[in-house]
Structure 1
């Protein structure tokens, strides 16, 4: 016989997942109470959205593809949870090269790359296990894992070597409970691009300890002149890899929420459970945006190379401009990126004795100069700030000049003599 619960008051608690989900970037940014300088236009070098200022727009062919998808009337209903066959075929063709051939059955379409990462972490790791993430690294990895009761361990990147992975540190983090290693290449927040040889070294460690890799490659092909992007799966023979990417960054349409997972599993290691698990998890969102799925074949096939080249040229020019100027500012040391949309800048806090942390530095700069950068704490890497280089050129120049003024005022060795030294001139 059923019994009625004895309740005489409301007692509704959040779930463990909700309580344990924490986004460091959102938490830090939303708790900054400092107001910008009302006399200066706000310049946000903090937002990893290339569309924010309107200077970077998707290709005309991309827009036309979506218009045709809408007007066809064929993509208004539900799609299979892993995506329409034609859309998955288009992703498979786009992601294949001379070293790796992608089969459409290995493609799972997702609601953005963050959804792809979520599915991969959820499929590979159980509560109590751990995943390895880069430091500095994008905070979403920690947010997704810890909310599920999965522990996070960090391996260090080396700024003095272009943010390559400290291989000894990576190996030291692996234990019997390690379920996966996340490799982000090209990198957010570092803008680094790993060489083929370095990727091979990472794969050798993963193979030795039988640990699969989640490859966050959302910035694939967004590399500057002189560097090359190597998909991790194009090098791997033994290590199973779940590669995550999408339209977001390269095609300048983050709000369209179109990402994908590609299962690279030459030794059929994942076939027993993980492949089915990913398919089951994809059913939780009942598939990704169908209008964009309908446009995917045309987007991936018809976007001209000149569009990609022009975006890279702009980002490269902006990165050189920012690097050239900031490297002359006392107390700051930028690290020139090789790709993506970001630059990490070291703050020598010993030169700015009134600030105890990168967060205080950022808050004060926002208050005085209305320039906002993300503090290194957002990426588990204190004493740095991350700059986004997608802003229009004139705004980037103005931001650099304001950062210069701020540092000169607060630098303990130059603040007293800055009037004699004069202002550093910016070249562009």
Structure 2
């Protein structure tokens, strides 16, 4: 007889191979809609998708020669073709630490974990901090991958509101009202995707005060850290924290214009060693699930980070801002569209319905 609780093995008459609960509960609503959308194209006009976050798609934004040269050099060395430590090569982690160290935030190589893109970095943080039945606070509207990554693990998503009338700042009162005994972390996305807001120093300090009161670590998604238009100022959340542990997620996708190279990182900011007891070990263990990130790009990272001139980043953002202003101006001329670079309007579905009969407008509900 099998042990108690183990099902009896019986012969079956037909195949019944099932998908796992993890797979069935993994769902990305935006990808589902975009990938399954079939629209008739205008015979004389090229369709420009406004839902794509890939800076390479139109071919007008290309990586700097120093970035390409770094990969060529790494390939020629023939020393980055094997497995690396799952957290990443020490030299690559040292280069990331050097790139992000400031007088306010000193980062060591041991505070850096390399990942397969920023999404994987987010996955590491969510998986390290939360267990089934616990919850993480996330922005609404926000990047849908936060919920996708949590849902498969049985981690609940609780959405705090952003205020469109206040340049999409977080509704701090609503955020605090969502915290309960099962809340284990807060995700803060700044600069924000999809709203484009850049939070002030004062607003970030307000978020940190709440996190400090409830002893909640923050997962800071800062992949757009350099996408700051003229007149705005970006403050890394870790530079303002005195006692709240911050796991900062970033990567090369947007800044270096190479999202397909799949290189990201988690920066562990932990002034009071709160995360040393378990979380650092948990992050290290989780990297072993995919045996680390792209080793060729790891080999190129030191030269990429040190040799790509800052003027390249400035030129890139100037181009993006110019194109955004052109798109904004043209979209304003389209009946039924209400664009905003700094959106100050609260637009509900009822305002769109009169246009839905004649225009290609898809109203996507949010929870």
- Which TM-score band applies after superposition, normalised by the shorter structure? over 0.9
Which of residues 165, 172, 181 in structure 2 aligns to 1:176?
A: 181
Where does residue 281 of structure 2 map in the other structure? 276
What runs of 5+ residues in structure 2 fail to find an aligned partner? none
Query: Is the partner of 2:276 in helix, strand or coil?
Result: coil
Work out the CA distance in 1 between the residues paired with 2:31 and 2:70. Answer: 34
Where does residue 67 of structure 1 map in the other structure? 72
* TM-score of the superposed pair, with normalisation by structure 2: 0.93
1:223 correspondence with 2:228: yes
Where does residue 360 of structure 2 map in the other structure? 365
Question: Given that residues 248 and 254 in structure 1 are in contact (C-alpha distance below 8 angstroms), is that contact kept between their aligned partners in structure 2?
Answer: yes
1:38 deviates by 3.4
Q: What is the total number of aligned residue pairs between the two structures?
A: 362
1:32 deviates by 2.6
Work out the CA distance in 2 between the residues paired with 1:85 and 1:289. Answer: 14
Question: Given that residues 83 and 109 in structure 1 are in contact (C-alpha distance below 8 angstroms), is that contact kept between their aligned partners in structure 2?
Answer: yes
Work out the CA distance in 2 between the residues paired with 1:351 and 1:18. Answer: 37
What is the 5 A alignment of 1:59-98? Answer: 59-98=64-103
Post-superposition CA distance 1:203-238 (Å, at most 9, x none):
001101111110000011220111111110000011
Q: CA RMSD in A?
A: 2.2
1:28 deviates by 1.8
Which of residues 4, 9, 14 in structure 2 aligns to 1:5?
A: 9
Where does residue 260 of structure 1 map in the other structure? 265
Work out the CA distance in 2 between the residues paired with 1:189 and 1:217. Answer: 13
Work out the CA distance in 1 between the residues paired with 2:364 and 2:186. Answer: 22
Question: Given that residues 124 and 180 in structure 1 are in contact (C-alpha distance below 8 angstroms), is that contact kept between their aligned partners in structure 2?
Answer: yes
In structure 2, the CA distance between the partners of 1:354 and 1:80, relative to structure 1 (3 Å rule), is same
319-328 vs 191-200, which deviates more? 319-328
Question: Given that residues 135 and 156 in structure 2 are in contact (C-alpha distance below 8 angstroms), is that contact kept between their aligned partners in structure 1?
Answer: yes
Work out the CA distance in 1 between the residues paired with 2:289 and 2:352. Answer: 50
Query: Is the partner of 1:180 in helix, strand or coil?
Result: strand
Post-superposition CA distance 1:237-296 (Å, at most 9, x none):
111111000000011000000000011111111111110000000011111000000000
What runs of 5+ residues in structure 1 fail to find an aligned partner? 338-342, 367-374, 382-428
Work out the CA distance in 2 between the residues paired with 1:151 and 1:195. Answer: 29
Post-superposition CA distance 1:142-178 (Å, at most 9, x none):
0000011000010011111111111111111111111
Question: Given that residues 137 and 187 in structure 2 are in contact (C-alpha distance below 8 angstroms), is that contact kept between their aligned partners in structure 1?
Answer: yes
Work out the CA distance in 2 between the residues paired with 1:26 and 1:344. Answer: 27
What is the 5 A alignment of 1:157-306? Answer: 157-306=162-311
Where does residue 371 of structure 1 map in the other structure? none
Question: Given that residues 185 and 215 in structure 1 are in contact (C-alpha distance below 8 angstroms), is that contact kept between their aligned partners in structure 2?
Answer: yes
Work out the CA distance in 2 between the residues paired with 1:349 and 1:377. Answer: 9
Query: Is the partner of 2:125 in helix, strand or coil?
Result: helix
Work out the CA distance in 1 between the residues paired with 2:352 and 2:97. Answer: 51
In structure 2, the CA distance between the partners of 1:303 and 1:10, relative to structure 1 (3 Å rule), is same
Question: Given that residues 331 and 348 in structure 1 are in contact (C-alpha distance below 8 angstroms), is that contact kept between their aligned partners in structure 2?
Answer: no
Work out the CA distance in 1 between the residues paired with 2:57 and 2:345. Answer: 22
In structure 2, the CA distance between the partners of 1:352 and 1:114, relative to structure 1 (3 Å rule), is closer
Work out the CA distance in 2 between the residues paired with 1:39 and 1:139. Answer: 33
What is the 5 A alignment of 1:43-54? Answer: 43-54=48-59
